Amino acid sequence: MRAEEIRRLYVKFFEERGHKEIASASLIPENDSDVLFTTAGMHPLIPYFSGLEHPMGKRLVGIQKCVRTDDIDEVGDAFHHTYFEMLGNWSLGDYFKQESIKMSFDFLTGVLGIPAERLAVTVFGGNEQTPKDTEAYEIWKETGINENRIYFYGMKENWWGPVGETGPCGPDTEIFYDTGANPCGVNCGPACECGKFVEIWNNVFMQYNKLSDGSYAKLEEKYVDTGMSLERILAVSNNLESNYETECFYPVMEKIKSLTKAANPQNYTREYRIIADHMRAAAFILGDGKKVTPSNKKHGYILRRLIRRVIRIIRMMNVSENILPQIAEVIISINAPVYPELADNREFICDQLNKEFIQFGKTLTLGLKAAEKLFSHLAPGEKLDADAIFRLFDTFGFPPELTGELANERGIAADMAGFKKRLADHQEKSRRAQ
């Protein structure tokens, strides 16, 4: 099954059930937002989860470009990304758990043909403030999912939102695909990280509004927010072992392999994946039309981190020329038919990648000199303090992870936790100054 077919079937399925299609919003949230990027399909809809009427009605469907940095350390495995496409359907005070779960089940089994016995689902198990979701549990049983495939978990696994500190949120039910791998132990289940279960879809039942004092007020209406990663459902529907084997990534991975020319490509799977993922996120952020550029602040800082991590990896692979624009070209050509803004901003994307490559080269040369000077005053076993790491970062844009690695090589400890705190204080100060 092709990506375009899944997109089309998804929208059609929900249109046939009374939903209206909404276009993807920008990756940079329009209104004042607690978070830098659009992290889920529901993000641009937040005002409509608090009573405001949406001009297109109470049932919506859409595909949203998303960037999440929470998962950045997981990138390199089979299924996590910083940028991904989220297929979503929403009920704004219309249907609730019964219809939502039934539609998800019918789409997966009826339209995509995934055998029901390959599914496992999780349901909110309750806590002191909010009850166990027995309603969702009963509905899943009615669909025919065996009760030993329905798992109750706590807030960490089965509660979603709010985006930022306050706002609409609620218990969710997550749908997993069982890869068929052997269980990793007696307690193996969707919450464990062994890879047997891949989360494909999350149905959130927005019933609460989290307030600034940390309490949960009941929302007047009930809302549904669902989200499914296109990349994952594409991999699962095609029986592929990772998202990187799907058409969203495969040509990018091939291009990276041919440009980096490693003698033993099988040793670099993780590196290729990180390059492909981060370059895709960078291309989409640069190509969003908001003219975000690499910098030391806010969106620009995330963008810079993504691009510089790629540059560091390719340098580590002994590639000194700038191959970033060539990788970006492949990403643009795969995605421009659906996201034409990438083609419209092609020149800007490549130009910024070139500039950052040159800038980072200078940074590395100057920063390395300054770092060497600092290390020359320290003996193995001594500690590089947070202020020194921060100065290297602030003055030269020298990546703190690199400072940490250099310290490590010399047997010197680096106060990374102190640095993180110092950076957060600095960012908070510059935010307030705006």
Interface with ligand SER (CB under 6 A): 40-42, 88, 160, 202, 204, 225-227
β-bridge mates for residue 225, sequence order: 90, 204
* Residue with tokens 């132990």, as numbered in its chain: 185
List, as one string, the DSSP characters of 344-358.
Answer: HTHHHHHHHHHHHHH
Sign of the torsion formed by the C-alpha atoms of 129, 134, 137 and 142: negative
Q: Minimum Å distance from CB 75 to ligand SER? A: 17
Q: What are the residues whose beta carbons fall under 8 Å from the beta carbon of 36, sequence distance 6 or more?
A: 28, 29, 298, 299, 302
Pick the closer one to ligand SER by CB: 243 or 363. 243
Q: Which helix (H) or strand (E) holds 221?
A: strand 216-229
Pick the closer one to ligand SER by CB: 42 or 252. 42
Pick the closer one to ligand SER by CB: 160 or 197. 160
Q: Which of 227, 204, 207 is nearest to 217 (CA)?
A: 207
Q: Minimum Å distance from CB 63 to ligand SER? A: 12
Tokens of 214: 């940390």
Q: Minimum Å distance from CB 172 to ligand SER? A: 7
Asked whether the beta carbons of 101 and 139 are under 8 A apart, the reply is yes
Q: Minimum Å distance from CB 230 to ligand SER? A: 12
Residue 16's φ and ψ, nearest 5 degrees, are: -65, -20
Q: Minimum Å distance from CB 371 to ligand SER? A: 39
Q: What are the residues whose beta carbons fall under 8 Å from the beta carbon of 155, sequence distance 6 or more?
A: 124, 127
Helices (H) and strands (E) in the chain — how many of each? 14, 11
Pick the closer one to ligand SER by CB: 204 or 236. 204
Pick the closer one to ligand SER by CB: 39 or 246. 39
Pick the closer one to ligand SER by CB: 36 or 388. 36
Q: Minimum Å distance from CB 42 to ligand SER? A: 5
